[in-house]
Amino acid sequence: MSTGGVRLESATKRYGEFTAVSEIDLQIPGGSYYCLLGPSGSGKSTILRLIAGLETLTAGRVLIGDADVSTVPANRRPVHTVFQSYALFPRMSVFDNVAYGLRAQRAGSRGEIAARVHGALAQVRLAGSEDRRPAQLSGGMQQRVALARALVNRPDVLLLDEPLGALDLKLRREMQDELVRLQRESETTFVHVTHDQEECFACASEVAVMRLGAIEQVGRPRDVYRHPATEFAAAFLGSANILAATIVSGRGDGVYRVRWDGGELDAGGPPGLGGDRAAALVIRPEELEVAAAPVDGDGWLDGTLLDLLEAASTVRLRIAVRGLQLLAERSASDVGAFAVGDSVAVRVTPGGGWLVDSAPSATGIAQPPSDEPARAGGRP
């Protein structure tokens, strides 16, 4: 049996003049691994603190399971938090850290508490570290203590605030798998706040993309990636070429005829965009085919290779095409033939474009909107 979910109803949090979270409605299903994804300042950590009860709502309601907990203090809510950089108690041993919540809530006899603490530490593979101090542990181990300290209390909802931000890449990947395993084993609702889209893909069954205190889009990570609702969602979850385009006509089945600087193509999009109007065309880097020499064929465009960024299994190509800069991503095995400065040919994979409703200001460069930090890097 999985635990209850969380519901926010018109949740608003203001600090004086500043609105951190604005009229948010959010439904987090019980037992899900839910991710709140957004740049700093998007209000995602505030939402976590509102659910935990560490901040009080200015307006609206928070429900955990079916109970309205809006006015319940933090220490009486059935949720626990893994804090950013852990907030372990530095003067206490690992055992005392993990036992803290059980003791505070008088959750059993000394023996029962000890048994549960040992169990929780075993669950995060830290058996034997009971007597050590947090300062004597590596970052990854501290992270596990923080997880055990929260999970040992069997919360209905576990809140994770940028839990992997302080770890190096290899450890982060390991912990992602570990978090997913713990979530399945404990059948607890996990709410994970991050600005890292990779983390989101690795862990979450559902994601809410946030921006400036509001929710931009909700869905499965894969769906949001393939069918972003806004330019911001497109740019923040993965990288994207976002291009100014004009809808020539709509066929009524979510496929549109679109004209952009590179010609005309068919692209998917949300229903009801209509025809003969401006929109933004989103093309994921892997949806651009690249040939090492000019190709005389339908949809192929001549370009110049500006830059070549190699990763382990892929390579990213920055290509100048008709005054635009396009970002393409190909398998590393395809790339032997390319050199910077070469003439190349580019084509959008059939069905590889997606339309979002937008002002016609897009510049054609793979960049998120300017009011947010750019995070074009990373591989989805």
Partner 1 sequence: MKTTVRIVAFIGFAIMIAPLIAVIVNAFNANVLLSNWGGFTTHWFTDAVDDSGVRSAAGQSVEIAALVTALSAVIGTLAVAFNAYAPRWVQRLTSSLTITRVMVPEVIMAAGLVLLMPKLGFTFGIVVLGQTVWAVAFFIAILGARRAGFDRRLEDAGRDLGASAWRVLGTIVLPDLLPGIIAGALLTFTFSFDDVVTTVFLSGASTMTLPTTILARIRRGITPEINAVGVLVMLVTIILLALATVVSGQLVPGQEGTEI
Residues engaged in binding partner 1 (CB under 8 A): 52-54, 73-76, 79-81, 83, 85, 87-91, 100-101, 104-105, 133-135, 149-150, 153, 166
Nearer to partner 1, 79 or 327 (CB): 79
Q: Are 283 and 243 in contact (CB under 8 A)?
A: yes
Q: How far is the CB of 374 from partner 1 (least distance, A)?
A: 24
Overall size of the chain counted in residues: 380
Q: How far is the CB of 188 from partner 1 (least distance, A)?
A: 15
Q: How far is the CB of 139 from partner 1 (least distance, A)?
A: 8
User: For residue 41, what are the contacts with CB-CB under 8 A and spacing of at least 6?
Assistant: 212
Write out 9-62 in H/E/C secondary structure: EEEEEEECCEEEEEEEEEEECCCCEEEEECCCCCCHHHHHHHHHCCCCCCEEEE
Q: How far is the CB of 108 from partner 1 (least distance, A)?
A: 13
Q: How far is the CB of 144 from partner 1 (least distance, A)?
A: 15
Nearer to partner 1, 134 or 219 (CB): 134
What is the number of other CB atoms lying within 10 angstroms of the CB of residue 115?
Answer: 12
Q: Are 243 and 261 in contact (CB under 8 A)?
A: yes
Q: How far is the CB of 78 from partner 1 (least distance, A)?
A: 9
What residues does 64 pair with on adjacent strands? 6, 67
Nearer to partner 1, 40 or 105 (CB): 105
Q: Are strands 206-211 and 33-37 parallel, antiparallel or unpaired?
A: parallel
Query: Radius of gyration (Cα) for the chain, nearest Å?
Result: 24
Nearer to partner 1, 48 or 207 (CB): 48
Nearer to partner 1, 113 or 207 (CB): 113
CA distance 364 to 261: 9
Nearer to partner 1, 83 or 260 (CB): 83
Write out 116-152 in H/E/C secondary structure: HHHHHHHHCCCCCCCCCCHHHCCHHHHHHHHHHHHHC
